[in-house]
Structure 1
Amino acid sequence: MTDEVADASMEHYAGRPSSHYGSRRAHARRPKKRRRVVRAVLGLVAAVLAGAVGTYGWADTKLNRDVDLDSYGDRPPRGKGTNYLIVGSDSRDGLSQGDIKDLHAGGGGGRRTDSMIVLHTGAHGTSMVSLPRDSWVTVPGHTNPATGKTSGPTGNKLNAAFSYGGPRLLTRTIEYNTGLRIDHYAEIGFAGFVNIVDAVGGVRMCLERGIKDKKSGADLKKGCQTLNGKQALAFVRQRHQEAEGDLGRTKNQQRFLSSLAHQAAAPGTVFDPSEIYPTVNAGLDTLIVDKDTSLRDLTTLFRAVQSVSGGKGKQINVPVSGIGIPTSKGSVIKWDEKQSRRLFDELRHDRPVTMPRERPRK
């Protein structure tokens, strides 16, 4: 640059205030700053998604897919919609002797069912149908895996099917007595149940009366409160303080499951990997599913339960005609033949369920 040009250039800018130069520099910096912010945000989103996907993939590989629902023949034809069988068992896997004593879980061997719910999703929403474990049903012919002894069809409590033949015989018995085809099976034991409740920070329940039960360990006050894992397990297991016994317990179980789904889906837990990991991991150790169930299926199940808790579905107990009926197998619950057949027909054909909704208790 010549001296004349330089002087002219200086003269051109000499009359402008110094702030003008700062403004030019600020405008130059702003696009760079915006780009840095955008990159940071995109990086954060990518990290969250990568963490969520990674957690999802890890959890899917950890699922215990021990149950083969197609390993026996003579199953009902596929109906419309999807049927999930949700089972809470008294499996003590994952519990120490101290845990068993603390949770009043007993010391018996094997595992039995504490709750059984058929969840149906379809064109008309979601229906959760509780099947009391003392239901009087026909257990199909089977071979006892423990003894190798073969038995023909016989009347017994629904819980006995699980004791004799595990998930396979339980599913087969439910299909035989309802005509529904079970598409997916999900079972969780004591340890997984307690861990999941604790992982979500407890579950808020409102009780109409205080509950004190030595067998389950329940010691709960009347009113609204947040139950931790130990308290929640005692609540869903106790039945001796219920006027309807096992039937009353199934209603409590439905209420609790809906509240748990609502609590677990609270904002802030869905997209944060640090929250997803402990919640998912908490239940995997004692979660048993069928060989065709993926984590995506479990997510669908969870969302369906959540929709019921939000009032977009029905919570139903199978219609009964008698409670405490004496039999050679002890006191049982008998289903109302006409009404239960109508209910299961509606579910099988995915028609609107005409059974009245269970009124939730505050």
Structure 2
Amino acid sequence: MAGDDSSRGAMPPSFTPPSDGRGDRPRPDGAIPVGASGGRSQPRVPRPPRPADDARSGARITRQSTRNTGEQPVSRPSSAPRRTSAAPERTSRPPSVPPRDDRRTAVSTTARPSSRPAAGQAPRPAQRPSEPPRGGSDGIRIRKGRVVALLLVLVLVLLIAWPVGLIIWANGKVQHVDALSGAAGTDGETYLLAGSDAREEGVWEDGTTGARTDSIMLLQKPDSGPASLISLPRDTYVEDIPGHGPGKLNAAYSYGGPALLVQTVEGLTGITVDHYVEIGFGGIEDIVDAVGGVELCLDYDVDDEKSGLVWEAGCHVADGETALAFSRMRYSDPKGDIGRAERQRQVIGAVADAVVEPSLLWHPGRQVDLIDAGTAALTVDESSGMVDLAKLGLAFRAATGPDGVTGTPPISNPDYRPGGVGSTVLLDPETVPQFWTDVLEGNFEPGETVGGLPGA
């Protein structure tokens, strides 16, 4: 038995009898196993840390920081083998490159678009500052600009269409009369203005009846030189009224109306009339009221019973009724018929100034009232229309302005009585032929007052 013990002690050191019944397979690493039934236990030697452990340690730190910021933990790849799972395998990155969290990227992309292109994608072109986002405030501004442009176009159309429509409408209201003689034309543009008047009771202070021409004016716009407005006294003596012999100038209107008056004036002056315009002084009242009144001046007091004019010396704004009385007044005027012609020119000139006043352009209602009153008071020849009346207004304003010429033909006798026709106004036979030549050719000095009574 002793021999058995000695022989057992003589066993090689590499042989260890099995103590756990698992067999006698030697362990290659020479480690001493720890049995479940009480074999000698040895302390476990810790393994040196692997590089993957550092990565896992960084991941644990990242998870701790992301827990504080409310973000999800980030998994970092490890070089150590890991157990496979159902999730698809991700591409491993070097330790120096932090892994990309797809969930964080998704959230970040929604909140703040990145200007960096993704790997493998072409860079997106930068959005131009001039390109407004659809539906933004710039889009609203563009629509407002279009609305403003449309409104401007509509205003421009109205500015063009309104005057054209007004002229067409007015042309349909103008009264026409056969007045022109058809004689050969002369230089420049010549208008014959006849101020007709009629009393409702039909009887004048001198006993005549019906309508007659209280005012006769020749408006000449020469090819060169100043425009002139010459008043022909209604009682001017005429040696021959065609078909009626000698008489007063205004008698021609009573005998044959506008056509005979035109022929008589052409024979007296040697100037062919291009346009005939008859102004009913009864309509002057409405015209003056339509323009809001006109300023008239007279340097003496008047209280005339026949015309109804009551006037204090000076300049005053007159309404239609006062302007009509101002035009009709004769017997309280020291210059009689000559003075009345001057006041009638003043009334017509004031109306012409008011008609071309720029402020009237912004009052369409007043324009309609003026045209309505004017067309009711005006009668023109067959070939004239609103355009000719507009040219007449401009020529009238030029003639009565600071550079125009006004006056009457030279008069030799204001109370000439040839017999059979009463008291007439005799024009100066020595100077009147040259006077009409100067009117036709525009030979007078701008701003000059011509003709008139002897010694005036």
TM-score normalised to structure 1 length: 0.82
1:334 matches 2:426: yes
The equivalent residue for 2:225 is 124
User: Does the 8 Å CA contact 1:218/1:235 hold for their aligned counterparts?
Assistant: yes
Are 2:391 and 1:291 aligned?
A: no
1:187 alignment partner, SS class: strand
Structure-to-structure mapping, 1:291-310, within 5 angstroms: 291-310=382-401
Q: Within the alignment, does 1:229 sit opposite 2:320 as a pair?
A: yes
Which sits farther off after the overlay, 210-219 or 226-235? Answer: 210-219
Task: Name 1:260's counterpart in structure 2.
Answer: 351
Q: Identify the match of residue 87 of structure 1 among 178, 194, 198.
A: 194
In terms of mean alpha carbon deviation, does 124-133 or 189-198 score higher? 189-198
Classify 1:56/1:294 alpha carbon distance in 2 versus 1 (closer, same or farther; 3 Å).
same
What residue in structure 1 maps to residue 145 of structure 2?
34
Are 2:311 and 1:220 aligned?
A: yes
Q: How does 1:187-206 map to 2 (within 5 A)?
A: 187-206=278-297
Which amino acid letter does the alignment assign opposite residue 200 of structure 1? Answer: V
Contact 1:139 1:161 in 2 (8 A): no
| Structure-2 separation of matches of 1:89 and 1:6 | 95
Larger Rg belongs to: 2
Distance 2:291 2:298 in 1: 20
Q: State the Cα distance separating 1:351 from its structure 2 match.
A: 3.6
Structure 2 residue runs of 5 or longer lacking an equivalent are 1-101, 115-128, 451-456
Q: Which residue of 2 aligns with 1:281?
A: 372
How much does 1:106 deviate? Answer: 11
Shift in Å, 1:28: 3.0
Equivalent residue number for residue 185 of structure 2: 78
Answer whether contact 2:176 2:382 (CA < 8 A) is retained. yes
RMSD: 2.9
Displacement of 1:37: 1.8
CA offsets 1:1-27 (integer angstroms, 9 cap, x no match): x996784253139xxxxxx9xx97343
1:34-92 Cα deviation digits (max 9, x unpaired):
22122213212322432221121011122211124137xxx4x3111010001110146
The reply to whether residue 345 of structure 1 matches residue 437 of structure 2 is yes
- Which of the two has greater strand per residue? 1
1:82-121 aligned within 5 A: 82-91=189-198, 109-121=209-221
Aligned counterpart for 1:45 among listed residues 156, 164, 179: 156
Distance 1:162 1:338 in 2: 27
Residue equivalent to 1:17 = none
Instruction: Tell me how far apart the structure 2 counterparts of residues 335 and 355 of structure 1 sit (CA, whole Å).
Output: 23
Offset of residue 108 of structure 1: 6.7
* Equivalent pair of 2:191/2:273 in contact (CA under 8 Å): yes
Equivalenced residue count is: 328
Secondary structure of 1:70's counterpart equals coil
Distance 1:177 1:358, change over 3 A: same
More helix by share: 1
- Once the two structures are superposed, the pairs formed by residues 14-29 of structure 1 within 5 Å of their partners are 25-29=136-140
Greater CA drift, 281-290 or 61-70 = 61-70
SS in 2 for 1:268: helix
Give the percent of matched residue pairs that are identical in Structure 1 and Structure 2: 31
| Cα shift at 1:275 | 2.5
The farther-off stretch of 34-43 and 81-90 is 34-43
Give the structure, 1 or 2, with the largest relative contact order (CA under 8 Å, sep 6 or more): 1
* Letter paired with 1:330: G
